[in-house]
A and B are shown apart, each in its own frame.
Chain A
Amino acid sequence: MYLLNFLVRRLFQGVIVLLIVTFAIFTLLRVVPGDPVRLIVGGMAPDEVVAQKAEELGLNDPIPVQFARYLGNILQGDLGNSFLRPKSGATVGAAAHDDPTRADRAEVLDLILERIPLTLQLAALAIVFALIISFPLGIAAGLNPGKWQDRLAFFAGSVFVSIPSFWLGVVLALLLSVQWGILPSIGYKGFEYTILPAFVLAIEMSPFIIRTLSVSIAQVMQEEFISVAPLRGLRRTRIVAAHAIRNASIPLLNLFGIQLGVLLGGVLVIELIFDYPGLGRLTINAVLQRDFPVIQGVAVFIAGLFVFINIAVDLAASFIDPRLEY
């Protein structure tokens, strides 16, 4: 019963958020300069062809009408078709004046679903790496405020957060791939191609985790139930492992929910640098080619992912701490 009510309420909120996002991106893409039809039909096409194509795609209708149509399609699971990409995969040359029928263009949803597993694999591995780096540093700092562990975490956090990820990617690629040949870095031909990008991402994420963890552990350790626990007969390892980390994990979960957008953004940039065939490369290519349905689709898809993961995060938090009424 609790669960159902929570889900209904949060899904409702999530739908509203998605509506706002969709509308914002949709409108944005229609007010910025640049005529997409011209790109589809090719620079050399006569004006009447352009007008005809625009009519065919419904681009001459008022924006609210277009938006409603788009929403209707989304409800049927259709994110539209790419302006430029054919089903086979290769980009159609925009300069040529060919006019393939709409059915030949790849469906945006397929394009996304095709690439999302690799992006998720990268994100998941990055989170694992980040936790491995951050937990020892953050917990040690939280347990020893003001001591060297605290200072180490403080300094490590400040340096990690200052490293531009793309630059670190370039430098590590230079050292590990070019100089020493330990790890491959460009493209994707197997799991080992994920390791280096994931590590770079982990360095980018870890300062936030270290900081949140050390602050919240230090805070929890000040709580009365922790300071009384040894008098009640609990041992220190048990107190830290079962109670301090448990309570400190709530702010960490919240951080994860809020920073998810930043994380996803980071993934896209890293994909670009390592030429990793995930959502990021799809997106930037779409932008460079003004392939609006793809941009739109990616934005909506990522916003949906964001909403979904946030619901999951809040649910997890309320399982850990029942006071967080969901």
Chain B
Amino acid sequence: MADRNIALHVNSLAVGLQTDTGVKIIDDISFELEAGRVLGVIGEAGSGKTVLARALVNGLSEPLVTRSGEVVFDGHDVLKLSDAELAGIRGNRIGYIGSNPAGALDPTVPVGDQIVEKLRSVRPDISKGSATQRVLDVLNAVRIPSPEVRFHEFPFQFSGGMMQRVMIVDALVTNPEILIADNITQALDVTVAAQIIRLIKELRDQFSTAILFISSSLPVVQTIADDVMVLQAGRIVETASPEVLISKPRHDYTKSILERLPRIWGKDITPPEANDAPTLMSVTDVERTYMVRKKGTFRGMNAVRAVRGMSIDIRQGENIGIVGESGCGKSTLTRLLAWLEEPDNGAITFEGRDLSKLSHRELTKMRQSFQLLLQDPYSSLPSRMSVGRIIAEPLLIHGTCPRGEIKGRVRDAMKEVGLDPDIENQLTVGLGAGDRQRINIARALVLEPKLMILDETLSALDQIEQSKLFELFDKLQKTHGFTYIFISHDMALVRKVCHRIAVMYLGRVVELADNKTLFERPLHPYSRALLSAVPTLDDHPFKTRDYLLEGEPPSPVHIPPGCSYRTRCPRALDKCKTIDPSARLLPGGGQVSCHLSDEE
């Protein structure tokens, strides 16, 4: 093994805080990155992944500071190089891609110009013309459509996935020996993330770059890495090949990561089963179109068809999941369901009463029965009210509770959701995300609603808090008979808790089925693509190779005629171009809108 070609050698690296010599953010990090291989790093939020990534290229900013160790690249310790010497390496021979593509480039300069600027900054000998040509070549290599046009576009004109491709170009344009990829799929939708992973794999072969692939998701790392290091609280606790790590984890922390991974497929999985119950809320052919001023025109308007012909029945006492990727109309649907906006067409009825036909007074009264829990636990609570007052607010609004009893009701609700009633006079500053969501729940709970709409309510929480809140939701459902609508992008979450699941694409339900059917025998090609992109260690019934899509959904301004999905569908038929498939009811209460499934 003496001829192993080591690209980067890290020796007992430690990073601490300038202000406090005792604190070590990462400590005793040693590893070797071999040329042409992918070394994965897995760690949870706060484990020091990003600090490690930045420390490797001597790119720490205050108050972080390297305490000890060396990072040897090409015979030099990167940490001891002067800025001038560093300039020849950083961004040139070591590329870096971060987790937030949207913020990675100057928003006021065209992307192409910025990559050229970077290329000429690290390679001053390249002429402007040949730099431009080189950038265009690499843009082409990452399959960005019409690179000559996009070269001159600005970062805000790119979607997250496209922008991450641009950042890959930015890192690879110098043909670096090492690429540090810091959680690059984190901000992306699952299908887009899967595309990026696939791209990185291809590029690795093409550019023969050594990659340090950092991620918070073990399933993601597993698909790409040759070896995986596990980072816990700034220390490497275990290194192994992905297969060994998953089948024979040695360290307790690795074991706990594996245990906490949500399971999606497998013999031992028993998903919640749907049962018939009367309808509580019914959404019929609901449409919502926003008129947005077209750029650069005087009176021109773009019709953004956010929700177009959405129908779904919500049964009493069930958990129903509505899943879809960014831009599918989930947030508009949420606002419609919570009656924050009224649909342009169609109707939403609650307990048999059409919400649009209610008087203002009746509506206010009705509002008590369906409550919305919002995604962001920080911005959804007013910052200048005490916890107790926040929870009392709905009682004060509706005036249903005698003043004297409010305090007691508030304290009861706080106890019920697991909050210490003694914090009622405290402000929300300093409370964690989990406790804040509990306040949100308590605030809805005092109204004794029947339906709770959960708009990505749990996505801001870590795994442990998530499962605690699941238990709470479950308990509340048992004691109060709540119905839950989970609006989410997280397939693992809906698999775990929902009885029935609807898949949304471009403002419409393309498939609705019970949990078991959707995950095991989905009919719509989009459902399959979505499932194929879910990162999991389970034995995947839908191989990425077979089902993953190229490209991104069309904009809701220009919805293709015929079946709106056909532009991305690998198996589109001729009639898909002209005939919009209607929803076909399936035995067992599900429905699907697809010509293919009609024929199967």
Question: Which residues of B lie under 8 Å from residue A325 when comparing CB positions?
Answer: 295
B350 at the interface (CB under 8 A from A): no
With A233-B91, A235-B121, A243-B106 as contacts: A228 and B154 at CB distance below 8 Å: no
- Most B CB within 10 A of own CB, among A225, A232, A235: A232
Question: Which residues of B lie under 8 Å from residue A321 when comparing CB positions?
Answer: 107-108
Determine whether the beta carbon of B121 is less than 8 Å from that of A231: no
Nearest B residue to A227 via CB reads B61
A246–B170 Cα distance when bound, in Å, is: 21
A238–B107 Cα distance when bound, in Å, is: 16
Per-position 1/0 for B146-157, Cβ under 8 A of A: 000000001010
Question: Which residues of A lie under 8 Å from residue B295 when comparing CB positions?
Answer: 2, 325
Give the contacting residue for B296; candidates A2, A228, A247; CB below 8 A.
A2
A9–B90 Cα distance when bound, in Å, is: 47
Query: How far, in Å, is A233 (CB) from chain B's closest CB?
Result: 2
Question: Which residues of B lie under 8 Å from residue A189 when comparing CB positions?
Answer: none
Determine whether the beta carbon of B96 is less than 8 Å from that of A232: yes
A75 at the interface (CB under 8 A from B): no
A251–B134 Cα distance when bound, in Å, is: 35
Quick one: which of B294-349 are within 8 Å of A by CB?
A: 295-298
Determine whether the beta carbon of B118 is less than 8 Å from that of A234: yes
A322–B96 Cα distance when bound, in Å, is: 27
With A225-B105, A320-B108 as contacts: A5 and B296 at CB distance below 8 Å: yes
Nearest B residue to A320 via CB reads B108
Give the contacting residue for A224; candidates B57, B96, B103, B122; CB below 8 A.
B103
Query: How far, in Å, is B516 (CB) from chain A's closest CB?
Result: 43
Question: Which residues of A lie under 8 Å from residue B432 when comparing CB positions?
Answer: none
Question: Which residues of B lie under 8 Å from residue A100 when comparing CB positions?
Answer: none
- Most A CB within 10 A of own CB, among B61, B91, B104, B108: B108
B242 at the interface (CB under 8 A from A): no
- Most A CB within 10 A of own CB, among B54, B87, B105, B106: B106
With A233-B92, A323-B154 as contacts: A247 and B106 at CB distance below 8 Å: yes
Determine whether the beta carbon of B90 is less than 8 Å from that of A231: yes
Determine whether the beta carbon of B96 is less than 8 Å from that of A323: no
Per-position 1/0 for B102-139, Cβ under 8 A of A: 01111111000000011001100000000000000000
A194–B349 Cα distance when bound, in Å, is: 74
A322–B103 Cα distance when bound, in Å, is: 16
Question: Which residues of A lie under 8 Å from residue B96 when comparing CB positions?
Answer: 228, 231-232
A235–B57 Cα distance when bound, in Å, is: 14
Question: Which residues of B lie under 8 Å from residue A5 when comparing CB positions?
Answer: 296-298
Determine whether the beta carbon of B57 is less than 8 Å from that of A231: yes
A9–B92 Cα distance when bound, in Å, is: 47
Query: How far, in Å, is B521 (CB) from chain A's closest CB?
Result: 43
Nearest B residue to A232 via CB reads B91
Give the contacting residue for B90; candidates A225, A227, A233; CB below 8 A.
A233
Question: Which residues of B lie under 8 Å from residue A234 when comparing CB positions?
Answer: 91, 117-118, 121
A5–B293 Cα distance when bound, in Å, is: 12
B525 at the interface (CB under 8 A from A): no
Give the contacting residue for B121; candidates A8, A225, A233; CB below 8 A.
A233
Determine whether the beta carbon of B154 is less than 8 Å from that of A233: no
Report how many residues on chain A are interfacial, defined by Cβ distance under 8 Å. 27
Give the contacting residue for B118; candidates A223, A232, A247; CB below 8 A.
A232
Give the contacting residue for B87; candidates A1, A233, A243; CB below 8 A.
A233
A164 at the interface (CB under 8 A from B): no
B98 at the interface (CB under 8 A from A): yes
A46 at the interface (CB under 8 A from B): no
Determine whether the beta carbon of A322 is less than 8 Å from that of B154: yes
A261 at the interface (CB under 8 A from B): no
Nearest A residue to B170 via CB reads A232
Quick one: which of A310-326 are within 8 Å of B by CB?
A: 320-323, 325
Question: Which residues of B lie under 8 Å from residue A322 when comparing CB positions?
Answer: 108, 154, 156
Determine whether the beta carbon of A225 is less than 8 Å from that of B298: no
Quick one: which of B73-91 are within 8 Å of A by CB?
A: 83, 87, 90-91
B59 at the interface (CB under 8 A from A): yes
With A5-B297, A325-B295 as contacts: A231 and B91 at CB distance below 8 Å: yes
Question: Which residues of A lie under 8 Å from residue B117 when comparing CB positions?
Answer: 234, 238, 242
A236–B83 Cα distance when bound, in Å, is: 9
Query: How far, in Å, is A14 (CB) from chain B's closest CB?
Result: 16
Query: How far, in Å, is A113 (CB) from chain B's closest CB?
Result: 33
- Most A CB within 10 A of own CB, among B92, B121, B156, B171: B121
Nearest A residue to B123 via CB reads A233
Determine whether the beta carbon of A230 is less than 8 Å from that of B296: no
A322–B157 Cα distance when bound, in Å, is: 10
Nearest A residue to B86 via CB reads A230
A2–B106 Cα distance when bound, in Å, is: 23
A238–B118 Cα distance when bound, in Å, is: 10
A236–B82 Cα distance when bound, in Å, is: 13
Query: How far, in Å, is B73 (CB) from chain A's closest CB?
Result: 14
B186 at the interface (CB under 8 A from A): no
Quick one: which of A202-246 are within 8 Å of B by CB?
A: 223-225, 227-228, 230-236, 238, 242-243, 246
A53–B122 Cα distance when bound, in Å, is: 79
- Most A CB within 10 A of own CB, among B61, B109, B295: B109
Question: Which residues of A lie under 8 Å from residue B92 when comparing CB positions?
Answer: 233
With A228-B98, A234-B91 as contacts: A8 and B106 at CB distance below 8 Å: no
B369 at the interface (CB under 8 A from A): no
Per-position 1/0 for B45-89, Cβ under 8 A of A: 000000000100101010000000000000000000001000100
Give the contacting residue for A230; candidates B90, B105, B154, B174; CB below 8 A.
B90
B100 at the interface (CB under 8 A from A): yes
Question: Which residues of A lie under 8 Å from residue B108 when comparing CB positions?
Answer: 246-247, 320-323
Nearest B residue to A220 via CB reads B106
Nearest B residue to A8 via CB reads B298
With A8-B298, A232-B170, A323-B107 as contacts: A224 and B98 at CB distance below 8 Å: yes
Question: Which residues of A lie under 8 Å from residue B87 when comparing CB positions?
Answer: 233, 235
With A225-B105, A225-B107, A322-B154 as contacts: A233 and B298 at CB distance below 8 Å: no
**Chain A residues within CB distance 8 Å of chain B:** 1-2, 5, 8-9, 223-225, 227-228, 230-236, 238, 242-243, 246-247, 320-323, 325
Which are the 5 A-B pairs with shortest beta-carbon distances? A233-B91, A224-B103, A233-B122, A2-B296, A231-B96
A1-B296, A230-B59, A322-B156 given. 10 additional CB < 8 A pairs? A225-B104, A228-B96, A231-B96, A232-B91, A232-B170, A234-B117, A234-B121, A246-B109, A321-B107, A323-B154
Between-chain CB contacts (< 8 Å), 25 pairs: A5-B297, A225-B106, A228-B104, A230-B59, A231-B98, A232-B91, A232-B118, A232-B171, A233-B91, A233-B92, A233-B122, A234-B91, A234-B121, A235-B83, A235-B87, A238-B117, A242-B117, A247-B106, A247-B107, A247-B108, A321-B107, A321-B108, A322-B156, A323-B107, A323-B156
